[in-house]
Amino acid sequence: KAGVTQTPRYLIKTRGQQVTLSCSPISGHRSVSWYQQTPGQGLQFLFEYFSETQRNKGNFPGRFSGRQFSNSRSEMNVSTLELGDSALYLCASSLGQGVNGYTFGSGTRLTVV
């Protein structure tokens, strides 16, 4: 079966702009989680969506938001980009009901200039 698909793969944006990243989970998976990976802070949890509802949220400013659609695809949005938002953004999908399987996508590498 198809894996987790993240688009775009690479992105370059200017400070102050906004960006939307997309994640299509494995078919049948209802949970999508987002993580930010930077050399300085490592891997940090952003938020998790399950059945179109945000179920858990990390410690990130309100500029970071997300949503999930009825087909479980998820988007995350970052507004008013800062240089420090440059990172690899990874999403992970799972069944989300106590089953311990998280499959990650290849990530979107965002560069803010």
Contact positions vs another protein (CB under 8 A): 31, 33, 35, 42-43, 45, 48, 50, 55-56, 58, 88, 90, 92, 94, 96-107, 109
Indicate the residue among 66 and 107 with the shorter CB distance to another protein: 107
- Residue 44, token pair as written in the block: 């940090």
Report d(CA 10, CA 6) in Å as an integer: 10
3-state secondary structure of 106: coil
| Burial (0-12, 13-18, 19+ Cβ within 10 Å), 92 | buried
Indicate the residue among 16 and 52 with the shorter CB distance to another protein: 52
- Nearest distance from C-beta of residue 40 to another protein, angstroms: 11
DSSP secondary structure string for all residues of 58-90: -S--TTEEEEE-TTS-EEEEE-S--GGG-EEEE
Q: Cα 26 from chain centroid?
A: 14
- Nearest distance from C-beta of residue 9 to another protein, angstroms: 9
- Nearest distance from C-beta of residue 11 to another protein, angstroms: 13
Indicate the residue among 79 and 109 with the shorter CB distance to another protein: 109
- Nearest distance from C-beta of residue 29 to another protein, angstroms: 11
Indicate the residue among 12 and 43 with the shorter CB distance to another protein: 43
